[in-house]
Amino acid sequence: MPSTEELLKRLGVTIDPETLRLALTHRSYAYEQGGIPTNERLEFLGDSVLGFSVTDHLYRQYPNLPEGDLAKRRSAVVSTRALAGIARGLGIGDFILLGQGEKLTNGANKSSILADTMEALIGATYLTNGIEAARALVMRLVDPLLNDVEALGAGTDWKTAIQEIAAARKLGAIEYLIRGSGPDHARTFEATLSIGGTLYGSGTGPSKKEAEQEAAASSWKQLRLPAPEAL
């Protein structure tokens, strides 16, 4: 496992060593160690800091957007999928303390575990440095997502967004072509979106569901292009 100093460097923050270790302690590891504290309370705290920071930013940045649109954009940024993507980009999985069962099932790449740990790290930053440092961390992490206005407009359920566009244009049946690889305890799935027999984007993930969402997300911008006019 890499040094936690490397993790702090990637995050761009300082966190008290004891608090940092707690933030990285998954319940599976805590159980195997005799019931030591887990990162779930820090996750609860970090979730609130994350939600407030993003809400405050959106409220100030988009003064003319109605409440429904603000809520949709916030949901896109604080979703499990978004947080897991941020965590993967930072290599957070390499630092999480997991029990043997989770290690054998590739827990370090599970979106739920990655997202929860990301929130715990935000909570740990808040405890060590206060709200302004935590907010600064949140904004550094989510800034690329906040700037992707088109993606935010799609919300978090990419498969539903795809269904709406396909139905409106009468493109045909939607199908996700799935292919799995790797050993049973660490399977990786690849999904390719087919609509009416035409192939669009592909995506990968540790589960079929996540691979499908990735494929839908990668296809969304293609389908957002104006439909060709009938001759």
* Residue 175 is assigned to a ligand binding site: no
Do 88 and 188 form a contact (C-beta atoms < 8 A)?
Answer: no
* Residue 119 is assigned to a ligand binding site: yes
Do 30 and 36 form a contact (C-beta atoms < 8 A)?
Answer: yes
Q: Which of 47, 210, 212, 214 is catalytic?
A: 47
Q: Which of 102, 119, 210, 212 is catalytic?
A: 119
- Which of 172, 166, 169, 148 is closest to 82 using CA atoms? 148
The two tokens of residue 155 are: 């919300």
The two tokens of residue 64 are: 């003319």
Q: Which residue has the tokens 């303390």?
A: 97
Q: Is 40 a catalytic residue?
A: no
* Residue 116 is assigned to a ligand binding site: yes
- Cα(124)–Cα(156) distance, rounded to whole angstroms? 26
- Which of 67, 203, 77 is closest to 149 using CA atoms? 77
Q: Is 119 a catalytic residue?
A: yes
Active site residues: 47, 119
**Which residues make up each annotated binding site?**
43, 116, 119
Which residues participate in the annotated binding site for Mg(2+)?
43, 116, 119
